[in-house]
Amino acid sequence: MIEIIRYPTPPALIEITRGDRVESVHRAHVCVVDTSGNRRLSFGDYNHKAFLRSSAKPLQALAVIVSGAAEAYQLSEREIAIISGSHGGEKFHVETVLSILAKAGLDQKALQCGIQRPLDASASRELYQSNQKPMAVHHNCSGKHAGMLLTAKYLGLDIDNYLDPTHIVQKRIVELIARVSDLAVAQVEIGIDGCSAPVHAIPLKNAALAYARMINTECLATEIALAFKTIANSMRTFPEMVAANQNRLCTELMRVGSNLALTAKAGAEGYYAVAWRDPETDEGVGMALKVEDGAQRGRDPLVIKLLQLLRVLPDPLPELLEQFAERPIMNFAEIEVGNIRVRL
């Protein structure tokens, strides 16, 4: 007999209109929990298992600090922030990643993330105009890779295979992700990310719980709690190291939401995770979402609308965030032809 399993269909939370007609929709799973594990809001299947992609970086960075590598190499908050981020390849990003590597006697030849043009448009244009080719250090994940390399070097391990899922650094990362998200190691599914590093799939409710614990770490072991605090504080203090100097949702969210200790990290394929402090209960709250078709055009407006619904962001929005919210669709003649809108 064939067993048929039916999963909750995620609702069409984002609509793309043309004229008066809905032309396309983006469906999404969403889960919001607090540090006590209470589910505050959800759409679709809160047990939906998805790869965190780059939203895993703040969790992966735990290994750099818990291992003792961050202290041994005297990493600054700026350096910890870029290890936890997806940088834009701007000059100050490149210099920071090279600084991290140099502290362990390494250079960018050790990076195995591949070569990518800077995500930041102005940095990419500047590179092109100066007739320079992009290098591994321009890759948005080079900070994360530098952190993995430092950890391996500090522990006296082989750095040539630091991306192997069986490498001790990668196994420790999985163990830490499992611990902060209340999962067994066997429940963390491993894939390979765009930068060739292992990437992790866990249920949305567990990802949201892990993010909530970035804000309120009381239930975690002391060394992990201190590491999480260091990572979150570094990200909030230097949000431009997590993404870019401007025009990136993570950066602008953390600038606007500093009063609530808002900590945010985007992931590819429609993933997003964010944490903040509830001003009424002082608890940490975490949100994880996955847009089913991976569309960023739907993801960012959904993040903004959800944070407004949860009273984390004001309405009307600060100007810094308007570019990421619901907005008109303009054609090439600058005529408004439709809208991107969120339906909650």
Mean pLDDT over 252-257 rounds to: 96
In tens, the pLDDT along 100-142 reads 999 999 999 999 999 999 999 999 999 999 999 999 999 999 9
Q: Please say whether the beta carbons of 133 and 126 come within 8 A.
A: no
Share the mean pLDDT of the chain. Answer: 96
pLDDT at 83 over 90: yes
Give the pLDDT confidence score for residue 28 in this predicted structure.
Answer: 97
Give the pLDDT confidence score for residue 3 in this predicted structure.
Answer: 63
Q: Please say whether the beta carbons of 203 and 271 come within 8 A.
A: no
pLDDT at 61 over 60: yes
Using the Cα atoms of residue 119, residue 289, residue 205 and residue 208 in order, give the sign of their dihedral: positive
Mean pLDDT over 295-317 rounds to: 96
d(CA 114, CA 259): 37
pLDDT at 193 over 90: yes
Tell me the pLDDT band of 2, cut-offs 50, 70 and 90. Answer: low
Give the pLDDT confidence score for residue 1 in this predicted structure.
Answer: 54
Percent of the chain past pLDDT 90, that is, above it, reads 96
Tell me the pLDDT band of 9, cut-offs 50, 70 and 90. Answer: confident
In tens, the pLDDT along 22-54 reads 999 999 999 999 999 999 999 999 999 999 999
Task: List the structure tokens of 248.
Answer: 């990136």
Cis peptide before 198 (omega within 30 of 0): no
In angstroms, what CA-CA distances link 286 with 111, 273, 277, 312?
32, 7, 9, 12
Can you give the pTM of this predicted structure? 0.95
In tens, the pLDDT along 270-301 reads 999 999 999 999 999 999 999 999 999 999 99
Give the pLDDT confidence score for residue 17 in this predicted structure.
Answer: 97
| Range 12-342 classified under CATH 1.10.287 | no
In tens, the pLDDT along 135-174 reads 999 999 999 999 999 999 999 999 999 999 999 999 999 9
Q: Please say whether the beta carbons of 174 and 122 come within 8 A.
A: no
Task: List the structure tokens of 16.
Answer: 């793309």
Give the pLDDT confidence score for residue 7 in this predicted structure.
Answer: 63
Give the pLDDT confidence score for residue 248 in this predicted structure.
Answer: 96
